[in-house]
Amino acid sequence: MLSFLLALTLTSAFGEVVNVPENNEETQKLGFEVDYQNNQFLLDGKPFRYVSGSFHYFRAPKRYWRSNLRKMRTAGLNAVSTYVEWSLHQPEENQWDWSGDADLVDFLNIAQEEDLLVLLRPGPYICAERDFGGLPYWLLTRVPDIRLRTNDQRYMRYVDIYLTELFSRIEPLLRGNGGPIIMVQVENEYGSYACDHDYLNRLRDIMHEKIGSKALLYSTDGNSDSMVRCGYTHGVYATVDFGTSTNVTKSFELMRKYEPRGPLVNSEFYPGWLTHWKERFSRVKTSAVVKTLDEMLAMGASVNMYMFYGGTNFGYTAGANGGKNVYMPQITSYDYDAPLTEAGDPTPKYFEIRNVISKYLPMPNISLPNVSAKGDYGPILLSPIVNLFEPAGRQLFATIVLEKSEPLTFEALGLSHWLVLYEADLINSTTDPSVLHATVRDRGLVYVDDYLIGSLTRTDNIYNIAIENPNARKLKLLVENQGRLNYGQGLHDFKGISEVTLNNAPIKHWKMTGYRLDDIGMIRSLPMITLESGSLRRGPVILRGTFTITGEPLDTYLNTNDWGKGVAFINGRNLGRYWPKVGPQITLYVPAPFLRTGENELVLVELEYVPNSRKMKLQPTPILDYKL
């Protein structure tokens, strides 16, 4: 006798009617696939399309993951896209980190709890405007001529180890196993880099072996024929990316050339854009965003908005763009002019996008988000504690000290970031003034006989400086790594100095002192030092100040205006680089989880200039688009 089954009818987050049987035996198989016959995706066997937004877990404190994901769901999104940053999880060859703000598994679980599916982009290269495109710096130390992003076995050995470690953790979260991950990207916009299909096929095979049919492999490339052709791999669903200034129909026609059947997909639709130091803050008009989004959704396309929430490049994680004779480091903020601000606040763009999505997908029954209150904690007086060049500074903060006849790169010194001090004796000169030349990667402060005379800079292609003292005997070059290139052909972006000459005669025999400056807690036991305000002619200085918060801490912004160049720490957390002299970013975002009720500590590592006031203030509003 046939049993009578009662079924509950639900409207899912994905816009389709789902029959949920009471008998578990009737539950259909979970999975995600392409229905080529009907030009659509199938989620658990039913027609589906996604409207997604990018949110990189590594650009926000863990405590804010859920609230940001919920705001995305409230906007009508049914999926979230995130990169996986290899360098975050394997900072050194024999070191792994999957905890705290690197807890990818927890991020994926929270996404599922917030009713969002996941588009996972594990690289191994991700670009993302991150240092070295998310690749770990130590790859450059293993073999000098290692060919990154190719089928070079010396490179693929490490890629295989990384992907094995990653997929062993996220395999239970694939859609076929009941998890949220429906798609996994193979590499990242590879057609913009090369046309090595042997490499792509190898990556495809590695990933397919690990996920089988439990998620869909896909590729993403810019909307040019050469990019899609070189990024295309048989057995990997090819998608395109483009922004508001592009003809939607023609872009999707290009995709159709390589995927004649299946759903249309824009994997990176840009509601904002990135910003470099020394340029205006980038913005994309809301009217253009909603017009193009509406056009794509009306065509039945699936869309991922890059970025929906941008966040922050905390610490030394910001990368750089450029190539031959061009170097443009990115600012610390990754606000991106996204629908959600750097602090996760909804913008008018957010609500306009939500209005468009509501025409095509059901809206969840969740309260609309508001702009959160911000802290106005006032000015903080900073006292100088130690000069990095003095014995106490070297003893406390020098990571490595080495002497060689030729200057070594940061990578050869085992230093992933931030500063290396190169010291040498100057040779006798018969020319007045003498000309010092050094190819510097990326910015070098030049000290002669312990006195700052100027700077060399890759950004402005300045590699020569005059030394006017004919009797000068000691040379110091303090070199700052401002971020490795994250896009294009220049990924072998070694940091340091080379080709150092005085009047074309090579300078030999170098002492190198590396400063990582990750942990600055030991300065609390040091007394203040005497320091004149203005340009720091005798070397970088660490300054410290305290401030008190009454009640529950709120997000706030550190105003660095009038200072020179450096990094800031609050309660030991590195907020990132500041450089108000060139802008456009003046404030650094300070999330409330970095703060505490009661006394808090602000520490600066200032390289170039201390104003007379010696103060910074914590204010409730950001300044990201300052016009110099």
Instruction: Tell whether the model's pLDDT for residue 15 goes beyond 80.
Output: no
What per-residue confidence (pLDDT) applies to 432? 79
What per-residue confidence (pLDDT) applies to 430? 65
Residue-wise over 424-434: b if at least 16 C-beta within 10 A, else e?
A: bebeebeeeeb
Measure the CA–CA gap between 174 and 106, rounded to whole angstroms.
14
What per-residue confidence (pLDDT) applies to 526? 84
Pairwise pLDDT comparison (22 vs 605), residue with the higher score: 605
Instruction: Tell whether the model's pLDDT for residue 1 goes beyond 60.
Output: no
Mean pLDDT of 472-501: 96
Measure the CA–CA gap between 510 and 412, rounded to whole angstroms.
14
Question: Out of 33, 189, 423, 608, which one is annotated catalytic?
Answer: 189
The encoded tokens of residue 545 equal 């100040």
Measure the CA–CA gap between 124 and 137, rounded to whole angstroms.
13
Q: How many CA atoms lie within 13 A of 246 on its CB side?
A: 21
Mean pLDDT of 279-302: 98
What per-residue confidence (pLDDT) applies to 521? 82
Q: What percent of the chain has pLDDT over 70?
A: 95
Instruction: Tell whether the model's pLDDT for residue 164 goes beyond 80.
Output: yes
The encoded tokens of residue 55 equal 């949110």
The phi, psi pair for 67, rounded to 5°, reads -65, -40
SS (H, E, C) 491-536: CCCCCEEEEEEECCEECCCEEEEEECCCCCHHHHHCCCCCCCCEEC
The encoded tokens of residue 96 equal 């792994």
Instruction: Tell whether the model's pLDDT for residue 12 goes beyond 60.
Output: no
Mean pLDDT of 331-341: 98
CA-closest candidate to residue 361, choices 73, 80, 41: 73
Amino acid letter at 584? P
Confidence of residue 200 (pLDDT cuts 50, 70, 90): very high
**Per-residue model confidence as pLDDT tens digits over 566-620:** 999 999 999 999 999 999 999 999 999 999 999 999 999 999 999 999 999 999 9
Measure the CA–CA gap between 178 and 295, rounded to whole angstroms.
33
* Three-state secondary-structure class, residue 544: strand
Mean pLDDT of 209-236: 97
Note the residue count of the chain: 628
Mean pLDDT of the chain: 94
Task: Look up 189 and say whether it is catalytic.
Answer: yes
Measure the CA–CA gap between 452 and 253, rounded to whole angstroms.
58
Confidence of residue 10 (pLDDT cuts 50, 70, 90): very low
Amino acid letter at 462? I
Residue 116 to residues 102, 112, 402: CA-CA distances in angstroms? 20, 5, 51
What per-residue confidence (pLDDT) applies to 120? 98
Residue 322 to residues 191, 310, 330, 554: CA-CA distances in angstroms? 18, 21, 11, 37
What per-residue confidence (pLDDT) applies to 470? 83
Measure the CA–CA gap between 431 and 428, rounded to whole angstroms.
9
Confidence of residue 2 (pLDDT cuts 50, 70, 90): very low
598-602-608 Cα angle (round to 5): 165
Rg of the Cα atoms in the chain: 26
Give Cβ neighbours of residue 98 (< 8 Å, ≥ 6 apart): 89, 104, 105, 169
Residue 573's H or E segment, with its range, is strand 573-578
346-347-351 Cα angle (round to 5): 85
What per-residue confidence (pLDDT) applies to 27? 53
What per-residue confidence (pLDDT) applies to 16? 41
Measure the CA–CA gap between 68 and 152, rounded to whole angstroms.
39
Question: Out of 268, 342, 423, 606, which one is annotated catalytic?
Answer: 268
Specify the DSSP class assigned to residue 197. H
Cβ-contact 13, 78 below 8 angstroms: yes
Instruction: Tell whether the model's pLDDT for residue 3 goes beyond 80.
Output: no
Instruction: Tell whether the model's pLDDT for residue 525 goes beyond 90.
Output: no
Full-model pTM: 0.94
Mean pLDDT of 524-551: 93
Confidence of residue 29 (pLDDT cuts 50, 70, 90): confident
What per-residue confidence (pLDDT) applies to 576? 98
Task: Look up 268 and say whether it is catalytic.
Answer: yes
Measure the CA–CA gap between 72 and 65, rounded to whole angstroms.
11
